[in-house]
Amino acid sequence: MTFPTSRRRKSAADLVNRLGRFDAVIHNAGIGYREPKLVKTVDGLPQLFAVNTLAPYLLTALITMPKRLVYLSSGMHYGAGSHLDDILWEKRRWNGSQAYAETKFQDVLLAFAVARLFPGVTSNSLEPGWVPTKMGGAGAPDDIGKAHRTQVWLATSNEPAATVSGRYFFHRKLRDPDPATKDVERQDLLLDLCRKVSGIALSAT
């Protein structure tokens, strides 16, 4: 079964594919965690999951694979990977902060799965820092002037440090992600869950 969200993403992907193969795609779009109640899309999916996880999954699956892929995560992904069995929040009481953290964990899983399945593509994830934006809040301590630099660097630089794949970064330096993101079974489980929800597979074949 495909949902309206999947059809809209397919339409967006068709527009992208008409332009030809991209050098890089940065999956930067996302929504934050200050949702006091579970908000669902017209498909009945949690909005946080649909925007933060399913959208980059679908676009990755549907567009001509670019040379580089960059997935925005967050420091909140650490320790957030234990609920893939309830990815749609059907069993638990809603917690916006936890739901956001889980989607950011899922973004790292997705980046690493793509790096593994598509060795001809560089696919990485990063945290931009907790910066003072509408999402981060005015009291966020990190430097907003640095928030965009790592993803731009990963998308454009030919420095050896920027052309690796399957890595996690913070301010242009390698950082160890949550160890669970390296678990191939978890990566494959996320891909399978997204396939079941959307009806669209991400496959290297």
- Domain ranges in the chain are 4-198
57 is a catalytic site residue = no
What's the residue count for the chain? 205
Instruction: Convert the pLDDT of each residue in 101-135 to its tens digit.
Output: 999 999 999 999 999 999 999 999 999 865 545 56
Query: Nearest 5°: phi and psi at 121?
Result: -120, 140
- CA 50 to CA 194: how far, in whole Å? 10
Instruction: Convert the pLDDT of each residue in 1-12 to its tens digit.
Output: 344 555 666 678
Instruction: Convert the pLDDT of each residue in 125-165 to its tens digit.
Output: 999 865 545 565 556 556 566 667 899 999 999 999 999 99
- Among residues of the chain, what percentage have pLDDT more than 70? 85
Residue tagged active-site, from 71, 78, 104, 168: 104
Q: At the fourth CATH level, which superfamily is domain 4-198?
A: NAD(P)-binding Rossmann-like Domain (3.40.50.720)
- CA 3 to CA 137: how far, in whole Å? 33
Q: Is the dihedral of CA 27, 105, 199, 68 positive or negative?
A: positive
134 is a catalytic site residue = no
Q: What are the strands of the beta sheet with 173-174, ordered from one edge?
A: 24-27, 68-72, 122-127, 168-170, 173-174
- CA 105 to CA 101: how far, in whole Å? 6
Residue tagged active-site, from 71, 78, 100, 168: 100
